[in-house]
Amino acid sequence: MRIHLKTLGCRLNEAEMESWSRGFQARGHSLTEAAEEADLLVVNTCAVTEEAVRKSRKLLNRSSRLNPNARLVVSGCYASLNPDTAAVIEGVDLVVSNQQKERLVEIVEEELDLRVMPQSALEPDATGLLGRGRQRAFIKVQDGCRYRCSFCIVTLARGDERSRPAEEIVAEINRLHHQGVQEAVLTGVHIGGYGDDCGSSIAELIRRILQETAIPRLRIGSIEPWDLPDDLWPLFENSRFMPHLHLPLQSGSDSVLRRMARRCRSDEYRRLVTLARERVPEINITSDIIVGFPGETEAEWQQTLDFVNEIEFGDLHIFAYSPRHGTKAANLPGAVNRELKRQRSQCLHRLNLQMKKKLLKRFLGRALPVLIESGDEKGWGGYTPNYLRVTAKGAEGVDLKNRIVEVEINAIDDQELLLQGKIQGANGGPPGNQIAEGRG
């Protein structure tokens, strides 16, 4: 059975898609990048905004038209929030809710009667993420969220918090590392809540991964600032735990944060960032900002601009607020008009560019370890430990993809906002070997 997987939305959705790909292949099925060649299409949908819902429906309709002979399975937040609507979309054969996602491969085989000889299951090293050009794997560690930020529908779609057993996570990372994956990124809806339902914690999970695996790089995905435990900071002393934290802020105005039902105010956030930079000097702090939340006044907007400018983030994900049916924020008064949201977004984007350029200049003249993820002899691309994008030239005749190499930074690309440099000491060796690793 040839299977095509497609996902929209967050890293958690991508982590789930990667898990499904391994599950299908372990049962003898093959993956295809071409939807029109597939016997089965699996779509992992999103519902974080009304635009995401529109894109999910469009993708399902397009998938059905592109390959009407393939069976179509839909899962994800849109399908979970609107199961009846999703089920009647033309071509959809099966809807798998978020609560059943862990068993999606098994459910699909049972419901759609997929039978195949498990030949590819005998060749695990040939079926991993690297076969699809991936050096970084997203590892789902938990699902669900106990909090109800007023703008968020995802926590409603995902349900109660559920932590994966640590031994499963460790085994998955070891398996992926054996297949050649160099970096694991821990993902979830509420990562900071990991272990609360099983007597553990996110810090304890990271400690165990560092002790029981040898994967060269471990990252943590987006984590709420109020969830940062004190015992997280010493873990960064291990050079395999990457110095990058994505801490969603959403607004720099405390009055807006209250309307958002956020649990962290600006002063608390400021103290956390100060502590992070004291404990981990090379850490890169990135964040999310929602522009034009209901009732956002000019004074509140200026507070956000001032706070962002003060913190000097390494990068921002900027979202113009859009009402999501089923959330408390959708019923709040004081909608900000589209043109004003556009103007404020553009202003924030300009500030973000200034902050990124300032951060990149700090690394001119430095030698940084970079995991090469793409490119060829004409130029290689990858990321530093603190998640700065780099392009570099290397020696001819040496394939550097999926290797960690030392790059001497000598320039900044102002258009693409990335570091440029020359690879040092790249004298060959099998893919997956490290030339260098350390703090950058």
Domain ranges, residue 218: 133-242
Evaluate if residue 146 carries a pLDDT over 70: yes
pLDDT of 430 strictly over 80:
no
Task: Tell me the average pLDDT across 49-71.
Answer: 88
Residue 433 lies in a domain: no
Indicate whether 322 belongs to any domain. yes
pLDDT of residue 133: 54
Backbone dihedral angles phi then psi of residue 106, each to the nearest 5 degrees: -65, -45
Residue-wise pLDDT tens digits, 90-125 = 889 999 999 999 999 989 988 886 654 433 333 333
Residue 324 lies in a domain: yes
Are 6 and 88 in a shared domain?
Answer: yes
Report how many domains make up the chain. Answer: 4
| Span 404-408, average pLDDT | 96
End of a domain among 124, 156, 188? 124
Q: Say yes or no: 14 and 104 in one domain.
A: yes
Same domain, 226 and 255: no
CATH number at residue 397: 2.40.50.140
In a domain, 430, yes or no: no
- The chain-wide mean pLDDT, for the chain, equals 89
* Tens of pLDDT, residues 319-339: 999 888 889 999 999 999 999
Same domain assignment for residues 7 and 112: yes
Q: How does pLDDT run across 275-291, given as a tens digit for each residue?
A: 999 999 999 999 999 99
What mean pLDDT is predicted for residues 220-234?
Answer: 95
Query: Same domain for 257 and 181?
Result: no
In a domain, 415, yes or no: yes
Domain-located, residue 271: yes
Lowest-pLDDT choice from 234-238, 330-334, 384-388, 413-417: 413-417
Same domain, 176 and 258: no
Of 336, 362, 388, which one is at a domain's C-terminal end? 362
> Per the domain annotation, does 440 fall within a domain?
no
